[in-house]
Amino acid sequence: MTRNSAPPPIKPGPLQEESVALPPSLSGRSIVLVGLMGAGKTSIGRRLAARLGLPFHDADVEIELAAGCTISELFARFGEAEFRAGERRVIRRLLAGEPMVLATGGGAFMDADTRTCIRREAVSLWLRASLPTLVRRVAQRTHRPLLAGGDPATILQGLMEKRHPVYAEADIVVDCTDESPDHTTSRVVEALVNFHAPRRLSLALSTGNYDVVVGEGLLERAGGLLAPVLPQKRCMIVTDTAVAALHLDTLRRGLMAAGFECHAIIVPQGERAKSLSEYGRVMDEMLEARAERRTAVIALGGGVVGDLAGFAAATLMRGVPFVQIPTTLLSQVDSSVGGKTGINTQHGKNLVGAFYQPRMVLADTGTLATLPPRELRAGYAEIVKAGIIGDLAFFHWCEAHGHEVVGGNRQMQAEAVLRACAFKAQVVGDDEREEKPNNGRALLNLGHTFGHAIEAECGYGVVLHGEAVATGIGLAFQLATRLGQVSQADTDRVIAHLNSVGLPGEMSLLNRRLSASRLIHHMSRDKKMRDGRIHLILPTAIGQCHTTNDTPPEMVRETLLAAGCAE
């Protein structure tokens, strides 16, 4: 279950017919209410439990029953630290049982171990109330230990400043006003019914594990999602001019809600940002902003930003925490997953770089709504590639739903991102640093040797990476057919599908007359060269590929000429 860092509050509205049909992600899970004293956790919790048909428990009551004395007496006798330890044990015991609605004390969620337990066993819901509302509710309640001997407003203000950034890690946030408890409970039920938990994929690597989180609205939740995996609430956001205008403010708000301090570094749009000079400027700005070893670098943008920011994170002070927040379909399914980072040189693309894994990837599918159709199609090339490499059933899915993905269907886009990331996660987990020469991670480069040559010849950004890869996949199939390794029927089927979704599965659709000799020259300088030979990934069937470095150069040339290239 993922966390929510203070999304926009659910505004009061007319009472609607209550429904207890919670989404599948909440089925069989307890609901834990968190928030400051006076937020209404007990009164709302009792009503919520009744409407959902679940038992209700109050953690403070359970603690008093177990201790045989009041909370105030426990504080007086043993102090807060000992009280929190007992509270942690009680909450762990309760959540180990049947699903329930559990109201916790105001400080319970501040304990890291308690948060971990709640995150694992339940869905957390923060009842957020304003200072005036809290003061009115608790000013006359002298039994609260934290209010003893001071002005309630001053004490509550201090608690809000300290605790709200941590409460922001809750899965759901509902603002409480002076409306009736029944009305607030109705809005809590509405929030639960409408809650769509992001889906997670876990990559298990030799260098550590991290999650790829896929869902909508993750930018607004970024602080709560990232706080558990980062050592410091301080970050450097690297983004480009186009993405900054669209998404930077939203990300900042999401991070600041959880108490993060943010510094943004904006780079030019496109491949020109992946240069040695721009890399140096980014590094200098991070150091001038007093980045530390525990300060995170967050990449907000497409593959170019991810590659540049990731390489900066890998080399700044010999490595600082890194987070990928990809905003294009291509980067969500490709460059953000797997840890490849790098920059370009005059000799080729990504020739300077490092394998450096992020602490987390947040793939906010809501950002895809801002992409032009051409960018969506380019991203789809990497999605269908997963099916072509090693998952025939996924290729069938792409044939059935590819038009919906590139057409903007949000549900199908999310499903495609999840499936493609799951495939890549499995491949990367088996071969993190691309060291298996035949059937490891190198297979993900299907279409890339041809594609990189096309990009280099046309100019980076003139032909989009996904477009070049699509043409490269078509050329790989045509070459494999010429070599007798794959049937003409499979080649025709793959090219027809690429063309049908608007991708250039054939050289002629690039509308550029390229030179076979020039393309082979670029291929000979590709970083995947082995012992001076061009290294290719070729298919034997849809869903089956292999690597080779013994393809006769004349067969590559004949394939390019047959595809329409000039000499």
pLDDT, one tens digit per residue, over 473-524 is: 999 999 999 999 999 999 999 999 999 999 999 999 998 889 999 999 999 8
Return the SS3 of 32.
strand
Give the Cα separation of 372 and 181 in Å (integer). Answer: 45
Residue 439's pLDDT is what? 64
Which pLDDT score, from 0 to 100, does residue 378 have? 95
The confidence band for 435, taking pLDDT boundaries of 50, 70 and 90, is confident
For residue 118, pLDDT over 70 is answered with: yes
Cα–Cα distance for residue pair 404/253, rounded to 1 Å: 32
Average pLDDT of the chain, as a whole number: 91
Identify the weakest region by mean pLDDT among 21-30, 191-200, 232-241, 488-497.
21-30
Nearest CA among 106, 126, 235 for reference residue 171: 126
Q: pLDDT band at 431, cuts 50/70/90?
A: confident
Instruction: Give the per-residue pLDDT at 148.
Output: 64
Cα dihedral 30, 190, 103, 125 sign = positive
Q: What pLDDT was estimated at residue 140?
A: 58
d(CA 40, CA 21): 23
Tell me the H-state helices in 344-407: 373-390, 392-407
Q: Is the pLDDT of residue 229 over 70?
A: yes
Average pLDDT over residues 355-374: 96
Instruction: Round to whole Å and give the CA distance between 210 and 13.
Output: 39
Q: What is the pTM of this model?
A: 0.86
In tens, the pLDDT along 6-15 reads 444 444 344 3
> How many angstroms separate the CA atoms of 182 and 44, rounded?
8
The pLDDT, as a whole number, for residue 15 is: 38
DSSP states of 460-495: BTTB-HHHHHHHHHHHHHHHHHHTTSS-HHHHHHHH
pLDDT score for 3: 38
- Given a contact cutoff of 8 angstroms between Cβ atoms, the answer to whether 457 and 514 are in contact is yes
Among 97, 71, 101, which residue's Cα sits nearest to residue 86?
71
Judge contact between 187 and 10, C-beta under 8 A: yes
Q: What percent of the chain has pLDDT over 90?
A: 75
**Confidence at residue 430, expressed as pLDDT on a 0 to 100 scale:** 85
Those residues with Cβ within 8 angstroms of residue 65's Cβ, 6 or more apart along the chain or in another chain: none
Phi and psi at 263, nearest 5°, equal -130, 125
**What digits encode the pLDDT tens for the residues 293-326?**
999 999 999 999 999 999 999 999 999 999 999 9
DSSP label of 248: I
DSSP SS3 for 537: strand
Question: How much is the average pLDDT of 260-284?
Answer: 96
3-state secondary structure 2-22: CCCCCCCCCCCCCCCCCCCCC
Q: Which of 321, 120, 335, 356 is nearest to 226 (CA)?
A: 321
- What are the residue boundaries of the structural domains of the chain, listed by start? 24-193, 199-371, 399-562
Query: Over 50: is that where the pLDDT of 16 sits?
Result: no
The pair phi, psi for residue 385, each rounded to 5°, is -55, -35
Using the predicted structure, report yes or no on whether residue 159 has a pLDDT greater than 90: yes
CA distance 327 to 512: 29
- What pLDDT shows up at residue 206? 80
Q: Which of the listed CATH numbers 1.10.10.10, 3.40.309.10, 1.10.3720.10, 1.20.1090.10 matches domain 399-562? A: 1.20.1090.10
Contact (CB, 8 A) for 539 and 476 = yes
CA-derived radius of gyration, the chain? 27
* pLDDT, position 408: 93
CB atoms within 10 A of CB 542: 22
pLDDT of residue 141: 57
Confidence of residue 204 (pLDDT cuts 50, 70, 90): confident
pLDDT of residue 438: 65
Assign domain 199-371 to a CATH class: alpha beta
**Is residue 343 predicted with pLDDT exceeding 60?**
yes
Side by side, the strands of the sheet bearing 296-301 are 199-205, 208-215, 360-364, 322-326, 296-301, 234-240, 261-267
Higher pLDDT, 229 or 21: 229
SS3 category, 127: strand
Please list, in sequence order, all residues whose beta carbon lies within 8 angstroms of the beta carbon of residue 134, skipping any fewer than 6 positions away.
Answer: 36, 37, 38, 39, 156
**What is the identity of the amino acid at 111?**
D
Split at pLDDT 50, 70, 90, the class of 2 is very low
Determine whether 283 is exposed, middle or buried from the number of CB atoms within 10 Å of its CB (0-12, 13-18, 19+).
middle
pLDDT exceeds cutoff 70 at 145: no
Residue 549, helix vs strand vs coil: coil
Task: Summarize pLDDT for 523-546 with one digit per residue, the tens.
Answer: 987 766 666 678 899 999 999 999
Q: Is the pLDDT score of 147 beyond 80?
A: no
Residue type, 287: L
Closest by Cα among 157, 148, 194 to 172 = 194
Question: Pick from 429, 418, 420, 422: which is nearest to 357 by CA?
Answer: 429
State the sign of the Cα–Cα–Cα–Cα dihedral 29, 57, 165, 248. positive
Q: Which tokens sit at 502?
A: 């608007």
Q: How far apart are CA 359 and CA 323, in angstroms?
A: 6
Q: What is the pLDDT of residue 8?
A: 41
Contact of 497 with 505, CB cutoff 8 Å: yes
User: Quick check: do 24-193 and 399-562 share a fold?
Assistant: no
pLDDT band of 381, cuts 50, 70, 90: very high
Which residues lie closer than 8 Å to 232 by C-beta, 6 or more apart?
A: 292, 294, 295, 296, 321
**pLDDT score of 136:** 87
For 184, phi then psi, to 5°, come to -60, -40
Mean pLDDT of 169-191: 94
User: Topology of domain 24-193, per CATH?
Assistant: Rossmann fold (3.40.50)
